[in-house]
Chains A and B, each alone.
Chain A
Amino acid sequence: MSEVYHTDEQMLKRKFEETKLPLIHLEPYVLEQINKEPQRQQNNRFYQKKLLVACGSVMAFMVLFWALSSFPAAAEQLRKIPIIGKIFDGTGITSIGDPGLIDGKENGLAIQLNQEAINQGTTIKMQDAIYDGARLSISCDIKTEHQVRSVLEILQNGIVKINGEVLPAGKIKPMLRILDEKHAIGLININIDSLQPIRSFDLKLQFSGENLENGSSLTKNNIEGEWDFNLPITNRALNDSQSKILANAYTSKSSDGQFQITSYMLTPITTRIDFNYTGKTEFLYFALQDDRGMLSNIIGSDYTTDENGVTKGSLFFNPLANGTKSISVTPYLYTSREIFENAKPIGTTFPIELQLKDVGKIIINQIDKLEDRTLVYYKIEGDQPYLLADSVHFITRSGRHVYSNSLWPLRTNDTSYEYVQEFPPLDPAEQYNIGSMIQIDAKLLSDLTIKLDLAK
């Protein structure tokens, strides 16, 4: 460092020098791209799992409480596992591959909307929606002459009105799958915080390019149109849903903190748990286990920590199997920043086993390399399957990681942790490893486990 740098700057520089990232070798791929036809899309990249993350993997849900209605009493039976083809070929409300929404559509809970708005060379179509009191998800199809990512910004800044009343900003969370630079499909999830039970309501959505902040990239693209929708929304799952406000008895304490479940809502497509928590919140997660000992897949969360250090919010899981009588919810933390990755070359021999230290093992049973997608079938063994379920990926020769298209792997068996997950089509000329990467040292805060008897 030159002499003009002060001691504090030298100290900061030393901290930066602690960063030692993996070596990358982009030359082959980049040169391959720039040597191709000029009109070829240069954005020949991996699919948009990251964009889906960026768009907001927060599922938006409605907080409602109403009188008890009995959860459908039925003999124990396996929850219906949607057919794989339907999952990954989904359109409309099923396009993101959320098993709960797919189940809901198959059971007649979806509302057909079929409204579209066209402006500035951009068509936004609202296809169908499901509202179960715990969440409102609307499927959309976007085609534009501009960059579809720019339209995403418009969606995020939309104005939402419920029966004429404007919701605060930030309630819209798009989750889109980008098919190409000008076309995307996916969901618009809307968080409607309301303590009043609403069986049906008029939803108004107003999207405008003029709502954007100054300096937004969109103003350069001149997408300044408006797209308005008036959508009638009905909760068709009301009669099959159950919710309960819990007394203070559902509280647990330990040296790690205090955990309290304040209420829950069970619908045919969502399990929502509302909670308070005091303790460390960095890398805080929750596991939900039913009375068969099976872990339920978490699909989202939404919580905030106030100035007193109390965290309040909601967790959203896949729906419970019919006949579930009790559940247990346990917080867990990652105590280490340490990441562990294990990857092996893909050959013709299966299974491929990936041992992830003491956390567990992933057994890759099959990889289907199709023309338009890649399907990976795997099984998880270990005490902490929730840490491994969504950790599979491919790695190219240059060290780049290829992640899944869908937000969640699809569990193919309700009584074991076997999954199938969809990835982009693989390049036949590329050699891939298949791997799993996890953050190790998860500490299950077992002393804070709360068991809920759902029958009471």
Chain B
Amino acid sequence: MESMNIEELVRAAKEGQHHCYGELISRFQQHILNYCFHMLGQLQEAEDVTQDVFIKGFQRLEQYREGTSFQAWLYAMTYHECLNRLKRAKTLERILQVFSGTAPILQSDVSTARFEYNEELREALLRLSIKDRHIILQRIVEELRFEEIAEQLQMSTPAVRKRYERAKKQLKKILASREEGGNERSLSY
């Protein structure tokens, strides 16, 4: 099964060989989790959405067109799941959000892994629009072509390029600048 390519795995999964879908999950789950984490800013939300993506992915497998990029298709679905989640999640930063912070250091009798992230990058990303976040993540992290991103977002390729350059510039500016004044913020528990 490890030697099967993605198209073969998808075809087999559609034919009822669910263990092949399991292999697809295995290959993509960590990438999807990373993407969701950067889109949503919270690990537990990212875990939830990642699970939803793979459950819905199987339900919608018939919609995937062979010959196109399964990765791009999966990320398009993930983007919309994140979008829906963000639209519902209007409130910022409950106290439990601290759970999505940096490495949990565990005692030796626990089997949970350490995790880390760049805090400045996370915060900077969250200040971009959702669409810009997606474009940045797809282009820089997943190295998708602009044409593939355009198809995901149902935009023209030139529009995606233009938006990408603007988002990248904004991201760099946020990372380079100090914390701005005049920042209204409402925190709730």
Give A residues with C-beta under 8 Å from B. 1-2, 5, 8-9, 12-13, 15-16, 18-27, 29-31, 33-35, 42, 45-46, 49-51, 53-59, 149, 152-153, 156, 173, 216-217, 281, 283-285, 298-309, 313, 334, 337-344, 355, 390, 395, 399-401, 403, 433, 435, 437-439
Check A16–B140 contact: CB distance below 8 A.
Answer: yes
Contact yes or no, B59 A19, CB < 8 A: no
Closest chain B residue to A341, Cβ basis: B104
Q: Does B129 contact A (CB under 8 A)?
A: no
How many B residues are at the interface, by size bracket? 35 or more
Q: Is the CB–CB distance between B51 and A337 below 8 Å?
A: no
Indicate if the CB atoms of B184 and A26 lie closer than 8 Å.
no
Q: Which of A30, A342, A343 contacts B55 (CB 8 A)?
A: A30
Once bound together, how far apart are the Cα atoms of A285 and B93, in whole Å? Answer: 12
Q: Hey, which chain B residues are within 8 Å of A58, CB to CB?
A: 91, 186, 188
Question: Are the CB atoms of B184 and A304 closer together than 8 Å?
Answer: yes
Chain A residues contacting B172 (CB-CB under 8 Å) are 8, 12
B64 within 8 A of A: no
Bound CA–CA A399/B111 (angstroms): 9
Q: Which residues of A contact B118 (CB under 8 A)?
A: 15-16, 18-19
Q: Is B159 an interface residue (CB 8 A)?
A: no
Q: A24-B29, A300-B189, A306-B184 are in contact. Are A153 and B87 (CB under 8 A)?
A: yes
The verdict on A305 contacting B107 (CB below 8 Å), with A34-B18, A57-B91, A156-B90 known, is no
Residues of A within 8 A of B105 (CB): 338-341
Which residues from B are CB-within-8-Å of A18?
116-118, 121
Residue of B nearest to A33 (CB): B55
Bound together, the chains give a CA A302 to CA B189 distance in angstroms of 9
**Interface hits, B95-141 → A, CB 8 Å:** 95-96, 98-99, 101-107, 109-110, 112-119, 121, 136-137, 139-141
| B113 and A22 contacting across the interface, CB-CB below 8 Å | yes
Quick check: A42 and B90 within 8 Å, CB to CB? Answer: no
Q: Hey, which chain B residues are within 8 Å of A51, CB to CB?
A: 88
Q: How far is the CB of A220 from chain B (nearest CB, A)?
A: 11
B156 CB within 8 Å of chain A: no
The residues of A that contact B141 with a CB separation of less than 8 Å are 13, 16
Q: A302 vs B93: C-alpha distance in the bound complex, in angstroms?
A: 12
Contacts of A35 in B (CB 8 A): 18
Given the contacts A18-B116, A400-B47, A309 and B181 also touching, CB distance less than 8 Å: yes
Separation in Å of the B156 CB from the closest CB of chain A?
A: 18
- Minimal beta-carbon separation of B113 from chain A (angstroms): 4
Binding site for A on B (CB under 8 A): 18-19, 21-22, 25-26, 29-30, 33-34, 37-38, 43-48, 50-52, 54-56, 58-59, 84-85, 87-91, 94-96, 98-99, 101-107, 109-110, 112-119, 121, 136-137, 139-141, 143, 168, 171-172, 175, 181-189
- Chain A CB within 10 Å — which of B38, B110, B116 has the most? B110
Whether the pair A342, B89 counts as a contact (CB closer than 8 A) is no
Contact B106 A439, beta carbon cutoff 8 Å:
no
**What 9 pairs across the A-B complex have the smallest Cβ distances?**
A307-B182, A58-B188, A54-B89, A439-B98, A341-B104, A337-B102, A339-B104, A22-B113, A19-B117
A contacts with B: majority SS: mixed
Decide: B90 and A21 in contact? CB cutoff 8 A. no
Residue in B59, B85, B104 whose beta carbon sits within 8 Å of that of A340 in the complex: B104
A339 with B99, Cβ < 8 A, contacts A26-B50, A27-B26 known: yes
Residues from chain A with a CB closer than 8 A to the CB of B47 are 24, 400-401
User: A26 to B54, Cβ gap below 8 A?
Assistant: yes
User: A338 touching B103 by the CB < 8 A rule?
Assistant: yes
Contacts of A34 on B, CB cut-off 8 Å? 18, 21, 55, 58-59
Chain A neighbourhood of B90, CB < 8 A: 54-56, 156
**A306 lies within 8 A of B182 (CB):** yes
Additional pairs, 19, CB under 8 Å, beyond known A9-B139, A51-B88: A5-B140, A8-B168, A18-B121, A19-B121, A21-B43, A21-B115, A22-B43, A23-B30, A30-B58, A31-B22, A42-B55, A42-B59, A303-B186, A306-B184, A338-B101, A338-B103, A339-B102, A390-B95, A433-B110
A332 to B118, CA, bound (A): 24
Distance of A433 Cα from B160 Cα, bound (Å): 45
Kindly list chain A residues whose C-beta atoms are within 8 Å of the C-beta of B44.
50, 401, 403
- Asked if B184 and A29 sit within 8 Å, CB to CB, the answer is no
For the complex, give the distance between the alpha carbons of A309 and B180 in Å: 10
